[in-house]
Amino acid sequence: MFCKKCGLQLPEGVVICPKCGENNGENIQNYPSQVIVTNQVHQSNGCATGGFVCSLIGGLASFIIPFGYILAPFLIIIGIILSIVGIVKASKVNGAGRGLAIAGLILGIILLIFIVIACYFFISIFWKYI
């Protein structure tokens, strides 16, 4: 038998080529590897996109939606959670959407810190007038 990839003559019973590593066993590897390849092609990273968009809308909500400042913390927390899921998923789909998920996570954390500081200042100012 010859290696189907590099043409090296293989000893009887040897299916994995010692030169190039090609698996020449017809029934052993072909089907599972095809399944993995099609999964990688068809999987996209919706969580990464969703996380980034939620964080972004959460940050803008205070300005563009009436009472958006009430909605903003929830949107940002959803954005952070989706971004973390997106980062975990990215490792399973060859890193697809990882950059976007990390951007969404960082954006969400910065916005959350900003909201906490803003709330702290509002409460401390409000406190003086009681």
Three-state SS for 18-60 is CCCCCECCCCCCHHHHHHHHHHHHHCCCHHHHHHHHHHHHHHH
Number of chain positions touching Zn ion (CB under 5 A)? 8
Q: Give CA–CA dist 22/61, Å, rounded.
A: 54
Beta bridge partners, 23, equal 16
| Closest CB to Zn ion among residues 17, 96 | 17
Residues 2-31 within binding reach of Zn ion (CB under 5 A): 3, 5-6, 8, 17, 19-20, 22
Residues 58-87 within binding reach of Zn ion (CB under 5 A): none
| Closest CB to Zn ion among residues 26, 95 | 26
What is the contact surface with Zn ion in residues (CB under 5 A)?
3, 5-6, 8, 17, 19-20, 22
